[in-house]
Structure 1
Amino acid sequence: MKKFFLTALVALFAVTAVSAQNKGDWGVGPKIGIYTNTGAEGAVFGIGASGRYTFLDNWRVEPSLMAICKKYCSVDISADVQYLFNIAPDWHIYPQAGLSANDIGGWSCGINLGGGADFSITRNWDVSAGFKWMIQTAEYHKNPILINIGATYKF
């Protein structure tokens, strides 16, 4: 478990470390979230980081890694694709879809569906809020809904 977690963490930061070359195309930042609908345990808190890469004008990919704080430490690894709708110059909303793997109640993988919003507070910083429904393969726990907030530093 420790080797897998370390490998995933290194991969996330290796991808975001080369990001300083194209201004506006890359971003990285912290994220916190609440996993609801996880079964008898109730809501579960998560803290982590995400990276963003804009590969077309309105399309971007967002890999993320969250440490889930429950009885024993767990991990959630996700990669989502988002389509940005420009509501105003500093405000975007987006639907998202992606893949995830986690060990909330035993290892499972699945599909993410959701949406969110970004707001630019400075030239290089965004704050964001979002949600996603994680349709998982685990048979002993429900499909969690993740509600999160975060910040992103744009390169």
Structure 2
Amino acid sequence: MKKILLAAVVALFATTAWAQTPGNWAVGPQIGVYANTGAQGAVLGIGAVGRYSFTDNWRIQPSLMGICKSGCSIDLSADVQYLFDVAPDWKVYPQAGLSANDIGGWSCGIHLGGGADFSVAQNWDITAGLKWIIQTAQYHKNPILINVGACYKF
């Protein structure tokens, strides 16, 4: 499982390496807390995100999160986000997407949420988000993911 997780992280970073147009790609680390997971309590996740902006307001964000619970688990997701400029350095966004994870058994799901980006330097953003993951798993709850991270913009 560790080899699969490492290969997926390498693949995520490799897809951003060939970006040619400045401002369209971003990549960075992310930490998340999965709340409302049932008897397990809150679960910590550590991973990476990639972002591709295909217009000024629309972007897609695939992510990979290693979930730190008994054993090693993963959460793969892809979100579509619409950015609103609140201030020169602030952006907020609603998001919707798809995910697959093995928190308590493999399941797929959709998620809804939102987040914010704050520019701290010319090419760096600090990000925070919240999303509710509605899963197909029959015997465990739908988690709420609270995450923070940073992104380097190419």
User: Smaller-chain TM-score range?
Assistant: over 0.9
Query: 1:28 corresponds to which residue?
Result: 27
Whole-Å Cα distance in 1 between the matches of residues 22 and 63 of structure 2?
A: 20
Equivalent in the alignment of 1:102: 101
Within-5 A mapping of 1:36-51: 36-51=35-50
CA distance in 1, matches of 2:14, 2:111: 24
Residue identity matched to 1:57: D
Contact between 2:2 and 2:72, CA under 8 Å: does it hold in 1? no
Q: Which runs of 4+ in 1 moved over 6 A?
A: none
Cα distance in 2 for partners of 1:67, 1:101 equals 12
Secondary structure class of the residue paired with 1:153: strand
- Give the letter aligned to residue 128 of structure 1: T
Which runs of 5 or more residues in structure 2 are unaligned? Answer: none
Inter-partner Cα distance in structure 2 for 1:145 and 1:83 = 20
Counting only pairs closer than 5 Å after superposition, residues 79-118 of structure 1 correspond to structure 2 as 79-118=78-117
Give the distance between the partners of 1:59 and 1:50, measured in 2 at CA: 16
Amino acid at match of 1:120: S
Q: How far off is 1:151 after superposition? A: 0.3
Deviation at 1:5, TM superposition (A): 3.2
Residues 27-54 of structure 1 show CA distances to partners (whole Å, capped at 9, x for unaligned) of: 0000001000001000000000000000
Mapped to 1, the partners of 2:115 and 2:64 lie a distance apart of 18
SS in 2 for 1:18: coil
Confirm or deny that 1:63 pairs with 2:83: no
Determine what percentage of the aligned residue pairs are the same residue.
73
Counterpart position of 2:138: 139
Deviations 1:47-68 (A, max 9, x none): 0000000001100000000000
Query: Secondary structure at the residue paired with 2:137?
Result: coil
CA RMSD of the aligned region, Å?
1.2
Structure 2 length-normalised TM: 0.95
Mapped partners of 1:69, 1:2: distance in 2: 12
Question: 5+ unaligned residues in a row in structure 1: which ranges?
Answer: none
